[in-house]
Amino acid sequence: AYEVIKLKGYTNWAIGLSVADLTETLVKNLNRVHPVSTMVKGMYGIGEEVYLSLPCVLNSSGVGSVVNMTLTDDEIGQLKKSADTLWGIQKDLKDL
């Protein structure tokens, strides 16, 4: 979004087109791949209940499946780091 703002000065078209594309996939049961936030507990060694944006097949029921990706050890480490960061924030919010 920041790149779009920097280049065009606004994001309303980009956001609107993304929402329209997601809506079409869901309403028409198209089984298309979209990067959306989904529960990742149990994936790639992640043990906490956190949501990360991963490529998912969407249909009229929502997330039909998560695309199985072959990740390098470094990529898995980065994914786990993101999950740990979000888990830490979630724990802090529970303590409020």
Reading the block at residue 24, the tokens are 């079409």
Domain ranges, residue 59: 31-96
Residues 9 and 41 in one domain: no
Look at residues 20, 31, 75, 23 and name the one whose alpha carbon lies nearest to residue 56: 31
pLDDT above 80 for 6: no
pLDDT above 60 for 40: yes
CA distance 26 to 18: 12
CA distance 25 to 19: 10
Give the tens place of pLDDT for each residue, 7-31.
666 667 788 899 999 999 999 999 9
Residues 94 and 59 in one domain: yes
Q: What is the pTM of this model?
A: 0.80
Residues 8 and 49 in one domain: no
